[in-house]
Amino acid sequence: MTFMLLASEMVTFCLLVSPLPYTIRKKVFRFLSESPIVAKLAYGLKITFIFVTVLFVDALQRMWRVTAEADMARNSGAPMHDARAETNFAARKFYAQRNTYLTGFTLFLSLVLTRSFYIILDLIHTQEEYAKLKQETTKTSKTTIAADDQTKQIADLKKKLAASEAKTRDYDILKKQAAQNAAEYDRLATEYNSKTGSISDKRKD
């Protein structure tokens, strides 16, 4: 059971780190993070890993016990003449070490898988936020460019309006000066005619 769990973890880890396209990876991780079925399976796996932890502690204790027995036999100086006893002791030591390494690596790989899953999920969320921010920045840039164009157009219109107003003022000034000159001419002509006693013909003048 522990070996099958370890093999499934290795396959899952290979799938996690495989270079999948962004769209497929996004759909897969969204399904894994939001599916209620996957949540139930994850709950069952947590219970399974609790049992694996118990097996790891038991295997570790057995390995320590076998190692202690080997040290005691070595320190006592009493050699084992029975081949069956030596084989039994070697088998116990091998099984204890195998179970320790197997369960320990299973627990370690489960932690690696969990951490890798959440890191990739955070990366996907970050990429989504970056894409949204990029779109908003593009829209803002377009709006800013349009606003700048409108500002330039308004400034040009203001300049043209100021030039038109200046021309209008100059025309009014010239018109007033012409009216004043005409009035002064009429006054002088009338005064001249009154002194000379002749009638001024403006058309001839």
pLDDT, tens digit, for every residue of 108-159? 888 888 888 888 888 888 888 888 888 888 777 777 777 777 788 888 888 8
> Residue 166 falls within a domain, yes or no?
no
Contact of 80 with 100, CB cutoff 8 Å: no
Neighbours of 59 (CB within 10 A): 21
Asked if residue 186 belongs to a domain, the reply is no
| Predicted pLDDT of residue 162 | 81
- Percent of the chain's residues with pLDDT above 90: 0
The two structure tokens encoding residue 147: 């606003």
Q: What is the pLDDT of residue 114?
A: 85
Give CA–CA dist 96/61, Å, rounded. 9
Confidence check: pLDDT of 81 > 60: no
Provide the residue range defining the domain that includes 118.
Answer: 2-152
Please indicate, yes or no, if residue 147 is contained in any of the structural domains: yes
178 found inside a domain? no
The whole-number average pLDDT for the span 167-183 is 74
Cα dihedral 71, 77, 83, 86 in deg (nearest 10):
0
Q: Is residue 75 predicted with pLDDT exceeding 80? A: no
Closest to 190 (Cα-Cα) out of 198, 176, 179, 177? 198
Q: What is the pTM of this model?
A: 0.53
Give the residue among 6, 13, 24 at the shortest CA–CA distance from 119: 13
pLDDT attached to residue 200 = 45
Q: Is the pLDDT of residue 80 over 70?
A: no
Residue 189: inside a domain, yes or no? no
What residues contact residue 66 under an 8 Å CB cut-off, 6+ apart? 89, 92, 93, 96
- Split into its structural domains, the chain has a count of 1
In a domain, 39, yes or no: yes
Is 77 within a domain?
Answer: yes
Is residue 31 in some structural domain? yes
